[in-house]
Amino acid sequence: MSQALLTINYKNTSNRAIAEYPVTQGVPLPESVLRKAADLAVRLPDGSLRTVQAKALETWFDGSVKWLLLDFTLPVAANEDGSVELVQAATPAADAMRIEETAETLTVTTPRLRATFSKKEFSLFASYIVDGKEMMAPGSDIVLEDLEGKRYYASLAGALDVRIIEQGSQRIVVQVGGRHTAEDDAEMLDFRVRYTFRPQEPGVGIAYKFTNREAPETGVKFTTTKIFIPTALGKRTTKYVRQSNHGKSWNSRIVEVKENVELIAGKALNAEAVARYGAFAEGKILIRSLASLRENVGEYPYYLRPGNKRTDMSGGLRSMYPHLMVSGAGASLAAWFYDMEINYPKAVRCDRNTVTFDIWPAQAGELHVRRGQSKEHEIYLSFGGERTPEEMEGIYFDHEIVGYGVLGSAYKPVEITLDPEYIRGCKVLQLDRWLRYDLEQYTDVEVKLGSANAKGGISSKGMWDAGDHISADRSWAHNNEDDAILNGIREYFRRAEPTMLTASVLKAKHNAHVDFIAYDPDPLRQGTMPAHCPEHTDGATYPSHMWADGLLAAYCVTGEPDLLEAALSVGENMLRWQQTNPEIFYADSRECGWPALAFLRLHEYTKEQKWLDGVQQVFEFYQSRMSDDGVIYYELPHGVGTYVGGYGEFIGWRALFFYYERTGKQEVKDFLARSLDKVYLHKPGPLGGWACNDLFPAWAAYALTGDDKYIEDNYQFLRFLMQREGGFPWGGNDMHFYLGELDRRGKLAEFCTMAGVKA
């Protein structure tokens, strides 16, 4: 029997079996373990093998695979949790999916469907055949309408870019791109549609993204954006929806609707809901017409009737599940938006045989797309023969589960995790140096770190805000501060906590799309993101608030190419700052330190020398600023220089420590030894700036010299931090290095009996 490369843990959180759950997951491997991403399989608990489609996302410096993207299907029983093993084993060649390409078309065939794309004129599908029956009618399109009523169509695009993004036995991704174009040939916004096919999937995942590369500095505005899909389901169709609350017992039910039907997600129904639930009151999925449900409202007590403020907080009788099911002419369709509630405003509707996805419904007001912004929207379509509503609904529940309770949001039914000790052994993301998660032994420390049983979540909702944190008055945004994406993914692996990954990927996609400036004539704004902007791109860019590590980590876990492209672009932007605006880039340790850390990660990924050259320039700057007694001085305030301050933020020193580890340069080690000796020792008292009191310098000095004094001299300071009210400064992300060393020495437990650890 083949030896396992790693074990993948799964948990079906739904109370239903899923015959073929699709898994796309990036996993790390230790150095020198795997040389090529081929001849791999997943061994199920019963010993049988499942074919795996694998792709190397990153390599170690010796050329072996560091991050590996896996695609496979997993059968899970209701509420089952278990594990499978990744093994080196050749499985029979699978030809369940095929691609046929001509000068005019590209066709994907799976065991469940046959979809054709035109290379000449955009339509969502030129053809979509299931069991020999054509499911599409002519005329599908994507339409933008501006404030003056002018319409731009994907179908009028002058040129289409049709390409294959992924091709294998378990997943095929086709991409179609172009420009929305009006009848007078005026163009507006790029579009990109990605289609995901899997052999056992009864449908297609579709991701539509628009990008604003237009000239107006303040952006462009629209009234509507929609995808409409005429089908071959006949002139008269029957629709089915699931009502969340019905009857005095408030149970859900499937409702048959003969007329046109629309499900909407928008603003909260009343101010009371916002006052009580904040952002979670927004985006509730409702049926637009209560009359479609044929409710006898008079049979309900007053406290359950529409109009009761408390009842309406969560939608009341109008509250719906997001999937729409349609039958007609011997065929059927199940359709929905993924994360519809989170990404409001949205609407999905069916009028006779036409299904429409409103990316931005007309009733939502103006859609303001700022220059450089993008937004991706994910939907799912499953055409088939005659199917019951329950059969169609089952397809939805195989992919997404509606959150339970007023504060719940939709989520994937199966959670995937890896063993934390395995991750530590891989030596990725510095997690071999971080504190291992042992809540029973280190409860007080984890409380201080803010990670004691902490779950990932959503702080802001809405099409533009999901994945960010926006203040209630929209004056400030979190905008991935301190590389929250990276630290969230670290916590996913450190604690095997799947909700941390879900939240981190949402942040990463937001950062790479909504916050990302895909176009700007200013080279110092092009290809990066501004900081703390509640409208996301309407603020200044500067080097200390551009992060690449988290985007790369998210790419390595998901394989999403947009995340890699954004990370590389951010790095290039930082290089431009360094080369063209050194006054800002070298203003202080924070401004040049974060780029230096990013350069090191980008060098690790690309192996390109230019990134190390950028860090070397940072090192040379620090050398020039060091005094005879080993202190780095800055003239402050910036641009005034009325006094001189020492050290400043510690991010730059941190980057140079890792630069020494990467290069082994003696001159860097000598520099670090001189400067770290001045700052490693902390004493109880007022806390200094961010990253100055996280004990990373003490750990770094020890790692550099092997001298225990750097660890032991700071016991007093750690006791002080444990006894003071509140958590560790800035959440303590970089406390992990020092804490991890104390754990290895068996000394950390004695600090967990301190008083005053309330966070």
Q: Omega into 345 within 30° of 0, i.e. cis?
A: yes
Structure tokens at 410: 């939709």
Where among 619, 638, 663 does a domain terminate?
663
Within 131-184, strands assigned E span: 133-134, 141-146, 151-153, 161-167, 172-181
Asked if 463 and 560 sit in the same domain, the reply is yes
Q: How confident is the model at residue 580 (pLDDT cuts 50, 70, 90)?
A: very high
Question: How many distinct structural domains can be found in the chain?
Answer: 5
Asked if 462 and 562 sit in the same domain, the reply is yes
Lowest mean pLDDT among 1-10, 419-428, 432-441: 1-10
Lowest mean pLDDT among 156-160, 599-603, 646-650, 690-694: 690-694
Lowest mean pLDDT among 17-21, 298-302, 326-330, 587-591: 587-591
Asked if 595 and 533 sit in the same domain, the reply is no
| 499, 456 Cβ separation under 8 angstroms | yes
pLDDT at 346 over 50: yes
Q: Omega into 22 within 30° of 0, i.e. cis?
A: no
Q: Report the percentage of the chain scoring pLDDT > 90.
A: 81
Report DSSP letters for 547-595, one per residue: --HHHHHHHHHH--HHHHHHHHHHHHHHHHHHHH-HHHHTSSHHHHHHH
* CA distance from start to end of the chain: 50
pLDDT at 687 over 60: no
Within a domain: 402: no
CB-based burial label for 290 (10 Å; 0-12, 13-18, 19+): middle
Q: Which of 501, 473, 475, 474 is nearest to 487 (CA)?
A: 501
Asked if 188 and 246 sit in the same domain, the reply is no
Q: How confident is the model at residue 635 (pLDDT cuts 50, 70, 90)?
A: confident
Q: How far apart are CA 264 and CA 341, in angstroms?
A: 9
| 519, 571 Cβ separation under 8 angstroms | no
Q: Cβ–Cβ contacts within 10 Å for residue 616, how many?
A: 18
Asked if 99 and 162 sit in the same domain, the reply is yes
Structure tokens at 701: 């000095």
Amino acid at 447: V
**What φ, ψ does residue 735 adopt, rounded to 5°?**
-65, -25
Q: Cβ–Cβ contacts within 10 Å for residue 754, how many?
A: 17
The HSE-up count of residue 281 (CA atoms within 13 Å, CB side) is 17
- The residue-averaged pLDDT of 588-596 equals 91
Asked if 315 and 178 sit in the same domain, the reply is no
Q: What angle, rounded to 10 degrees, do the helices at 484-495 and 549-558 form?
A: 50
Q: How far apart are CA 6 and CA 54, in angstroms?
A: 14
Structure tokens at 385: 């023969």
Q: Who's near 724: CB < 8 A, 6+ residues apart?
A: 756
Q: Which of 344, 546, 581 is nearest to 461 (CA)?
A: 344
Q: Cβ–Cβ contacts within 10 Å for residue 129, how many?
A: 17
Amino acid at 372: G
Lowest mean pLDDT among 88-97, 118-127, 132-141, 717-726: 88-97
| 245, 319 Cβ separation under 8 angstroms | yes
Asked if 219 and 120 sit in the same domain, the reply is yes
Q: How far apart are CA 34 and CA 28, in angstroms?
A: 11
Q: Which of 357, 356, 378, 360 is nearest to 369 (CA)?
A: 360
Q: How confident is the model at residue 8 (pLDDT cuts 50, 70, 90)?
A: very high
Within a domain: 48: yes
pLDDT at 525 over 60: yes
Within a domain: 478: yes
pLDDT of residue 693: 65
**Mean pLDDT of all residues belonging to the chain:** 93
Structure tokens at 231: 């089908």
Helix residue spans in 631-712 (DSSP H): 651-663, 666-679, 696-705, 709-712
Q: List beta partners, residue 18.
A: 76
- The residue-averaged pLDDT of 131-143 equals 97
Asked if 567 and 487 sit in the same domain, the reply is yes
pLDDT at 648 over 70: no
Within a domain: 607: yes
Cα dist from 191 to 159, 177, 194, 706, whole Å: 12, 6, 10, 55
> Domain containing 294: what range?
238-323
Lowest mean pLDDT among 47-61, 200-214, 358-372, 402-416: 402-416
Asked if 19 and 164 sit in the same domain, the reply is no
- The residue-averaged pLDDT of 34-50 equals 95
pLDDT of residue 95: 76
Rg (CA), the chain: 27
pLDDT at 688 over 50: no
Within a domain: 613: yes
Where among 663, 691, 711 does a domain terminate?
663
Within a domain: 382: yes
Asked if 344 and 202 sit in the same domain, the reply is yes
pLDDT of residue 1: 62
Asked if 220 and 107 sit in the same domain, the reply is yes
pLDDT of residue 685: 53
Between 237 and 682, residue with greater pLDDT: 237
Asked if 531 and 485 sit in the same domain, the reply is yes
pLDDT at 692 over 70: no
- The residue-averaged pLDDT of 593-605 equals 97
pTM of the model: 0.96
pLDDT of residue 684: 60
Where among 31, 62, 88 does a domain terminate?
88
pLDDT of residue 690: 44
| 135, 114 Cβ separation under 8 angstroms | no
Within a domain: 527: yes
Structure tokens at 208: 């539509």
pLDDT at 689 over 50: no
Amino acid at 697: P
Q: How confident is the model at residue 647 (pLDDT cuts 50, 70, 90)?
A: low
Between 278 and 320, residue with greater pLDDT: 320
Q: How confident is the model at residue 639 (pLDDT cuts 50, 70, 90)?
A: confident
Q: How far apart are CA 50 and CA 281, in angstroms?
A: 43
Q: How confident is the model at residue 757 (pLDDT cuts 50, 70, 90)?
A: very low
Lowest mean pLDDT among 114-123, 187-196, 536-545: 536-545
pLDDT at 405 over 80: no
